[in-house]
Amino acid sequence: MTLALLVACGDANPAPDIPPPHTLSLACPGDPRCPDADGVLQVGAAVADILPSCWERWDDEAGDATWSRDDPFHDCGCDHVCVADGAGVPDKGEGDGVFDAIWLAGFGHARAATGVRGADRGLVGEGDGLQVRALALERGSTAVGIVVFDAVGVMYDDVERLRADVEAAGLPYDHVIVHSSHVHASPDTMGIWGPSIVTTGYDAETLQEMRAAAVAVLDTAWQQRTEATLRIGTVDATDYADNGVANLVVDTRDPVIVDPRVGVATFESPEGAPIATLVHFANHPETVASGNTLVTSDYVHALRRTVEVGSVWESGGRAGVGGVALFLNGTVGGMMTSLGAEVHTPDGDVWAAASFEKADAVGQLLGEMALDAIDAAEPVDTDLALGVQELFLRVDNYAFQAMFLLGVLAHREAENYDPEQTITVENTPEIRTEVDLLRVGPLTLLTWPGEPLPETFVGGYDGRWTPPGSDLVSPDNPLPPDLAAAPSGPSVEDGLPGSTRWVVGLGNDAVGYMIPPYDFVVADAGAYILEPEGDHYEETNSLGVDTLPRILEATETLNAWAR
């Protein structure tokens, strides 16, 4: 059974079939489990490592970052020490002839890890592995946890497994929000970057270890919570370099719309001692690009370390503020990336090509902007409210349909169709997901379960979010977006409550790109497999044309509740 045969069915661009609004899945305060949110805000935070405990290495002698079955590997088990080399004792997986790889997510297939980036490779500070960070928020009988993984994305079924683990551990959270920072040199937590297109890269043991670490940091954060005040601040990255926000991120898909704001929400004890800082920005953590085979959290590590400990430049540095920094990625879709950015540093260096030096520079520059935002942050109220809305999304993408049939996505349940029958427009699988709205004082966090394009949140079709020197739409684009059909406003952001509003992409799920219908184009032949001309790569990694409309409907239901 070939991929082509599996996906050659259905309508490439079916009309949206949006279900009617329904009541919220959870609303706090007001639900029996969280009847009130009275009293003072209590906050705690914690960090743990999540590098898989057992995996094997290989040597990329060809330098192509792609492992094939003809390539040797070190069959040395979990400890990376081979008895055959005269050291250690045999451990799990050693000498069994099976390559227990970390399949790195975010680019192509068969990109197996050769190691972990460390201090010996020019890293700012100590080792750059992978982490999970947690924030505990409690006010009255309402308790919300936020978990941030250094991962390309964690799918909804694993989010629900994590929440079940939290409940089984007896932790008193009413709800846990799970976010992935979207780093592109972490294990394949979604399954679609394995050794081949028809073989999953998902490892259940790795996800189980990640969930266990998340439960542990949620427990620690809960135990360490203390009375907290909140300050919120924002700076504009445009103001920091001659090339503006392009010093950090570029938009590679028309319309060119970039949100340059770096936002912070910093929680402190009543005496001013730091507890935790949320940092919000939109940028793909893929600075070291597809040729890298070392596990790394990319620029995210240097960003967090700068906020906590400080920056390190040859020309001098800056002190951090302490506490625990949690990075929340935003509207990364369509395509917010550091890959095309030309990064100028205070030392006079210019980093254009993919490198660890560039990743460190992006992270430190963002971290220093966050520190400026903290310095300018103003104290705000700390009331707490949460709304959760579950919904279903159609899987119209033929490649994703095939992945369900082939077992590549076996860890995720497809619903609302007959798997014994041919997939058609009338018999199309759906996946369950959710949208959350969390309010902490005037700060509103809206979680969207994929990679939203900035324009779907901030608008900007009039060019106000287009960086100077860039065209809103390239005159050379063979299939340009029809801006006449774009929403006229107000934007989603403008309609949300609160004075500071962040959309958190890859919130509680990873469903791919969320593309507005007016700009959704698939190839006439090989729909969802081949890219049309112009800026339409994202369609090949999206569920379908009605994903965004359904998410916007769920957002409006939450918005009506919040108002």
State pLDDT tens for residues 387-420. 999 999 999 999 999 999 999 999 999 999 999 9
Contact criterion met (CB below 8 Å) for 226 and 137: no
> Could you give the C-alpha distances from 359 to 83, 263, 279, 345, 420, in angstroms and in order?
37, 20, 17, 12, 47
Q: How far apart are CA 370 and CA 132, in angstroms?
A: 20
Q: What is the pTM of this model?
A: 0.94
Half-sphere exposure of 410 (CA within 13 A, CB side): 10
Q: How far apart are CA 399 and CA 29, in angstroms?
A: 41
Overall average pLDDT of the 462-487 stretch: 95
pLDDT of residue 69 exceeding 60, the answer is: yes
Which segments of 174-258 does DSSP mark as H helices, in order? 204-223
Q: How far apart are CA 273 and CA 230, in angstroms?
A: 12
- Residue 115 maps to a domain: no
Q: How many domains is the chain partitioned into structurally?
A: 2
**pLDDT score at 460:** 96
**pLDDT score at 88:** 76
How many H helices and E strands in the chain? 9, 25
pLDDT of residue 15 exceeding 80, the answer is: no
Token pair 């503006």 is found at 244
Same domain, 251 and 379: yes
pLDDT of residue 429 exceeding 70, the answer is: yes
Q: How far apart are CA 551 and CA 18, in angstroms?
A: 10
- Residue 107 maps to a domain: no
**pLDDT score at 18:** 37
Same domain, 61 and 203: no
Overall average pLDDT of the 544-550 stretch: 97
Q: Which residues is 507 bridged to in the sheet? A: 179
Query: E strand or H helix at 368, and its extent?
Result: helix 356-376
Same domain, 93 and 196: no
Same domain, 281 and 364: yes
Neighbours of 505 (CB within 10 A): 30
Structural domain boundaries enclosing 465: 3-51+121-545
Same domain, 136 and 82: no
Q: How far apart are CA 260 and CA 365, in angstroms?
A: 13
Question: In the structure, what pLDDT confidence band is assigned to residue 126 with cuts at 50, 70 and 90?
Answer: low
Overall average pLDDT of the 138-161 stretch: 98
Give the rounded percent of residues in the chain with a pLDDT score beyond 70.
94
Which segments of 271-340 does DSSP mark as H helices, in order? 299-308
User: What are the residues whose beta carbons fall under 8 Å from the beta carbon of 491, sequence distance 6 or more?
Assistant: 457, 458, 459, 460
**pLDDT score at 85:** 77
- Residue 463 maps to a domain: yes
Closest Cα to residue 73, out of 92, 93, 88?
A: 93
Same domain, 382 and 445: yes
DSSP assignment letter at 271: T
SS3 at position 187: strand
Instruction: Please write the tens of the pLDDT for every residue from 347-392.
Output: 999 999 999 999 999 999 999 999 999 999 999 999 999 999 999 9
Same domain, 151 and 199: yes
Overall average pLDDT of the 147-175 stretch: 98
Contact criterion met (CB below 8 Å) for 163 and 176: yes
- Residue 560 maps to a domain: no
**pLDDT score at 128:** 74
Neighbours of 410 (CB within 10 A): 13
Overall average pLDDT of the 485-489 stretch: 93
**pLDDT score at 127:** 56
- Residue 237 maps to a domain: yes
Q: How far apart are CA 123 and CA 297, in angstroms?
A: 11
Same domain, 193 and 310: yes
Closest Cα to residue 264, out of 283, 281, 239, 247?
A: 281
**pLDDT score at 20:** 40
Average pLDDT over the chain, rounded to whole? 93
Same domain, 46 and 64: no
Q: What are phi and psi of 459, to 5 degrees?
A: 75, -130
- Residue 559 maps to a domain: no
Overall average pLDDT of the 534-554 stretch: 96
**pLDDT score at 5:** 33
Q: How far apart are CA 145 and CA 136, in angstroms?
A: 5
pLDDT of residue 2 exceeding 50, the answer is: no
Last residue of a domain, one of 33, 65, 100: 100
**pLDDT score at 383:** 96
Closest Cα to residue 504, out of 558, 556, 552, 448?
A: 448
Instruction: Please write the tens of the pLDDT for every residue from 263-302.
Output: 999 999 999 999 999 999 999 999 999 999 999 999 999 9
Same domain, 81 and 166: no
Same domain, 197 and 295: yes
- Residue 323 maps to a domain: yes
Token pair 């989010």 is found at 159
Same domain, 333 and 469: yes
Closest Cα to residue 555, out of 437, 432, 384?
A: 437
What the block records as the tokens of 458 is 């901030």
- Strand-strand pairing, 378-380 and 229-236: antiparallel
Neighbours of 394 (CB within 10 A): 22
User: What are the residues whose beta carbons fall under 8 Å from the beta carbon of 215, sequence distance 6 or more?
Assistant: 162, 165, 166, 169, 171
Q: How far apart are CA 117 and CA 300, in angstroms?
A: 13
DSSP assignment letter at 110: T
- Residue 555 maps to a domain: no
pLDDT of residue 532 exceeding 70, the answer is: yes
